[in-house]
Chains A and B, each alone.
Chain A
Amino acid sequence: MKSFRPIYTLLFGVAAVFFFGLAYPHHLHYQEQYQLFLFDSAYVWEIVRLPGGVADLLGRFCTQFFLFAWVGALIIGVLLSGVQLLTSRLMGKGWLYGLSFVPSFLLWLFLLDENALLGGVWAVLLTLLASWDFDRLPSGWLRRVLLVVAIPILYWMVGPVCVVFFLLQAPRPKGSAVWYYGVFVLLAVLLIILSHHLPVPTERLWFGIHYYRYPTVTPVLLWAAALSVFVLTLIARACHKWANASSGFVVTLCSFLLVSIAMGCLVWKNSNFKAEKVMQYDFMARHQQWNRILATIKAEKPNNQIGVTVQNLALAMRGVLVDHLFDYNQNGIAGLLPDVESDATSPLPTAEAFYQLGMIAVAQRTVFEAQEAILDFQKSGRCYKRLAQTNLILGNYEVARKYLKALQKTLFYRDWANETLPLLGDEEAIALHHEYRSLRHSTYDEDFFFSDHVTPEMLESLFFSNTDNRVAYEYLRAYYLLTGDRESYAKLLLRSVEQ
């Protein structure tokens, strides 16, 4: 009944696609916005020159498609299914078949973390692929020579996860253990030498440079997934007579169901749906889906900082912020324009509010700092786009051109960059552009200094330099209401009536 196995793999893959497409789409959007894949030789070289670079490159290449969650989900589904198929091949037949899903489920668990990088999954997949290919080679000197050659190459391609390849080959050179472990020592020496020449801490060469966004964190789940393949093959070999005794349809189905249900529950339990909700708000703000935000907050009032910031922005954009201010959760004035923190995530929705208000220089600085705070030093397509826009609005055309030229080297931002480039320096075209015209009109006339904290004076200056700026008007009124400053509120109403 071997023919049913592809169906189980397919079922697993489809489950993964639906999970990431339906339940976890904004985690994929989140991943995409913290990288910028460039079709550029210098960019590629920067990645592949480090151990694990090929897996990392493949991971980054695939992550750019996460802009479209369903495509991203499909990619993840295919990768996880690939790992399962290869594990199954390496384990052999038998009722232990269901366990071949364990590494893929562990990788699934790994990917629940928004800082887990797809390059790690590629590293495991390529390692298993190499092991499977190697298994088909006849034993003998050729195999040994290839082993010596394959280990450093594989190390360079996928990083230290390739140790699984080495372990999977361990039982093969029977009677030549000394020679075999000599290869391992050789690799270790190579790594120590390498550590003196590569710009990364030594421990990263042993545990992985770019499997995880935090450079100092070793992704335990990824390692568990990789090493589980070795453990499972050992179990399969140890129990092969017993395990292979029964490989009928029912037994295989039962083992598949048992593992799938157990691991599936684990996945569901460990899913961070709260974070998914926060990411959804950020996503909606990024794409200026004001009506969708209003519908979402109507169904469930946000109770987190980003959600409240986005909720208030959407209300202001629709001109109903003051009318509905107290219908929703507020976080004092921090719910309007929170102080900018030095991380990559929380400032972006606030930066969107700054941008829509016409505080272009503030938005620019906030986005720039958020991008700088990306932990693995990557750049962001979302941030590049906004930096190009703010520089264009502020008339810094050569800086805007630089960002746009970079975006021309991407797959999904290229068209936008091509459309925007002709606007640079073309004042008439900018004056006809609905977004840039109005934002130029809304921005500050008067220069003053500001720091990290938004003050009512900043909103007052913004509104009174252009009383058509209704978003600023909404925010200013909301600010007075939240601080209980009735006097200023009354004065504002009076002044706006007079004007």
Chain B
Amino acid sequence: MKKILYALFAILAFSACTEAVSDARQEASLPRIYPDYLGVTIPVNIAPLCFSMADEGASRIEAVISDNQGNSLRSQGKESVNFGISDWRKLLSQNQGDSLGVTVSAKFADGWRTYRPFPIYVSPDSIDYGICYRLIEPGYEVWSKMGIYERTLSSFDERPLIENTQFEGCVNCHSFNRGNPADLSLHIRGPHGATLLRHNGSPLTAYNTKTDHSLGFCVYPYWHPSGRYIAYSTNATSQLFHSADSNRIEVFDTASDLQVYDVEKNELLLSPLLKQDSVYETFPVFSADGRSLYFCAASALPEGSHQLDSIHYNLCRIDFDPATGSFGSLIETIVDAASQSKSVSFPRPSYDGRFLCYTLSDYGQFSIWHHEADLYLLNLSTGESLPMTEANSDDTESFHNWSSNSRWMVFSSRRDDGLFTRPYFCHIDAEGAVSKAFMLPQRHPRRFYQDRFLSFNVPEFVVSPVRFDGHKASRIINDESRTNFGVRYDNEN
């Protein structure tokens, strides 16, 4: 009886909120929806793709999603369509490897219009549990409220891990080992500067990563697949502003070096090959097998020079022996971007060893502020680099990361409004075919992204919820006690 009453109530509530799509004008065009989900490939476990009409003149929107087996989902709303999570999951699981058809109708002042249906492809490749990112206003030197947040990808839940309301400073450079939050590196800037490290689920420890033998604090962390090492760069970073250019700012290094931290021995491994005065080395990452260290390198500018557009970073590689923590004796150029007057940043090898994704911009290393920056995919077996055309846009694509199964990529893009970065996802299949990217789903996407004056910074996949006690972490940060990094020189080079 109760169930019948609930069902009746639900029907009544639904009918009170919906309107029949009547006398709809059939449009030959595809609908313009926000976010643009037309023809995207999605993982089977992604949260519902709710969307609005891009044209705010629409007073109602209805979407019917149907599969080839006769199942369908319908949603109607004033601002956006909103599918129930359980119905959505069921439909997606029934259509793994298949496509869904989406028919959109919208009501305008002159009545309803029904648009040409568009497909959504459901990949059987699942995506990781969630992503972590920093939320921050796209600023320059001063920061306001910010924090590191975790977002579940199969729902709309977002939770803060730590916010700078808990301590005085800025939080950045969060990094996990292949999405495993048991290995974590997190950097704090400001009066309580520190690097928080957790290895294999151990308690957090605050380190002072600045040594007498390095340029400054260790940044841009990347975990070795074994979890024993973390590659860092140390950068003397400056910024200058454009007076009349579509790019607002240039963030650049006047010096930068690389080092690898041995977590077990508490030693920073240094090599003269990776700290040359005449070269800017940055963004170190380990290869999937952990036997190579990829990084970006550019010839240093003469002191005092501001010819920033002449700084071009190549993608380079050096051998790394995980058993001894020693480096090879030869630096190999993998992508010679400088010869094309281009610059590589943010190299990220896939965990299955097939590809390496990087950002290519006109010059410099901080492609985040370069509107022309695009993503490229390097096939590590053929050495061929191709632009990820389906995923790229006319605006900035910059930071990116692979899912643990190396089939999905999350990247930040400014394509939405030219300033605030949003997370996008694309699928990369076995042959390296890249799908059209889709924006991180939200329950009310237009309202959500319009009201949020924050950029999604450094999106990283996580394979499970991050166990992080923000209260305890802030106590550690506010405490003055820091463990100093030890130093070991690689004498073989």
Which residues of A are interface residues toward B (Cβ below 8 A)?
40, 42, 195-197, 199-202, 215-216, 342, 359, 361-362, 365, 368-369, 371-374, 377, 379, 396, 398-399, 401-402, 405-406, 443-451, 458, 461
Quick check: B166 and A361 within 8 Å, CB to CB? no
- Chain B residues contacting A201 (CB-CB under 8 Å) are 166-167, 474, 478
A377, B241: Cβ atoms under 8 Å?
no
Q: Are A371 and B308 within 8 A (Cβ)?
A: no
Which of B139, B165, B240, B420 has the most chain A CB atoms inside 10 A of its CB?
A: B165
Contact sample, A vs B, 22 pairs, CB 8 Å cutoff: A195-B471, A196-B471, A197-B471, A199-B162, A199-B163, A200-B165, A200-B166, A201-B474, A361-B243, A365-B140, A369-B139, A369-B142, A371-B144, A374-B144, A396-B418, A398-B419, A399-B419, A402-B453, A447-B242, A448-B242, A450-B240, A451-B240
Q: Are A450 and B241 in contact (CB under 8 A)?
A: yes
Task: State how many residues of chain B have any CB contact under 8 Å with chain A.
Answer: 41
B306: contacting residue among A195, A196, A444, A449, CB under 8 A: A449
Contact of B451 among A42, A368, A371, A443 (CB under 8 A): A42
The docked-state distance in angstroms from the alpha carbon of A196 to that of B141 is 30
Instruction: Let me know if B160 is at the binding interface, CB within 8 A.
Output: yes
Give the docked Cα–Cα distance between A40 and B243 (Å): 36
A200 / chain B contacts, CB cutoff of 8 Å: 165-166
A201-B478, A372-B139 known; A405-B248 Cβ under 8 A:
no
Residues of chain B whose beta carbon lies under 8 Å from any beta carbon of chain A:
137, 139-145, 147, 160, 162-163, 165-168, 239-245, 248-250, 306, 308, 416-420, 450-451, 453, 469-471, 474, 478
Complex contacts, A199 vs chain B, CB 8 Å: 147, 160, 162-163, 165-166, 470
A406-B453 contact in complex given A201-B478, A216-B168, A365-B248, C-beta closer than 8 Å? yes
Instruction: Say yes or no: A365-B243 contact (C-beta < 8 A), given A372-B139, A399-B418, A405-B450.
Output: no
B244, A444: Cβ atoms closer than 8 Å: yes
Which B residues are in CB contact (< 8 Å) with A216? 168
Q: Which residue of A lies closest to B470 (CB)?
A: A199
- Point out the residues of chain A lying under 8 angstroms from B142, CB to CB: 342, 369, 372-373
Q: Are A361 and B244 in contact (CB under 8 A)?
A: yes
Instruction: Tell whether, in the assembled complex, residue A396 and residue B419 are in contact, meaning their CB atoms are under 8 Å apart.
Output: yes
Q: Given A200-B166, A369-B139, A458-B243, verify A377-B144 contact (CB < 8 Å).
A: yes
Question: Shortest CB–CB separation between residue B241 and chain A, in angstroms?
Answer: 5
- Chain B residues with CB under 8 Å of A379's CB are 453
- Chain A residues with CB below 8 A from B248, complex form: 361, 365
Can you name the residue of chain B whose Cβ is closest to the Cβ of A347? B142
Choose from A377, A406, A445 the contact partner of B145 (Cβ within 8 Å): A377
Bound Cα distance from A365 to B240, whole angstroms? 11
Residue from the list A196, A365, A373, A443 in contact with B241, Cβ < 8 A: A365
B118 CB, min distance to chain A CBs, angstroms: 24
Considering the complex, give the chain B residue whose CB is closest to the CB of A374. Answer: B144
Q: Contacts A201-B478, A374-B144 known; A451 to B139 CB distance under 8 Å?
A: no
Check if A449 sits within 8 Å of B451, measured CB to CB: no
Report how far A200 CA is from B478 CA in the complex, Å: 12
Residues of chain B within 8 A (CB-CB) of A444 are 243-244
Tell me which residues across on chain A come within 8 A of B139, comparing CB atoms. Answer: 368-369, 372
Residue of B nearest to A445 (CB): B244
Bound: A177/B144 CA distance, A: 46
Contact check: which of B143, B144, B242, B471 meets A449 at CB < 8 Å? Answer: B242
Chain A residue nearest to B448 (CB atoms) is A42
**Closest A residue to B138 using CB positions:** A368
A199 CA to B164 CA, complexed, in Å: 8
CB distance from B457 to the nearest CB of A (A): 15
Chain A residues in 8 Å Cβ range of B418:
396, 398-399
List the B residue with the shortest CB-CB distance to A215: B165
Least Cβ distance of B414 to chain A in Å? 10
Q: Which of B239, B243, B417, B478 contacts A402 (CB 8 A)?
A: B417
| Cα–Cα, bound, A40→B419 (Å) | 23
Docked pose: A458 CA to B244 CA in angstroms: 12
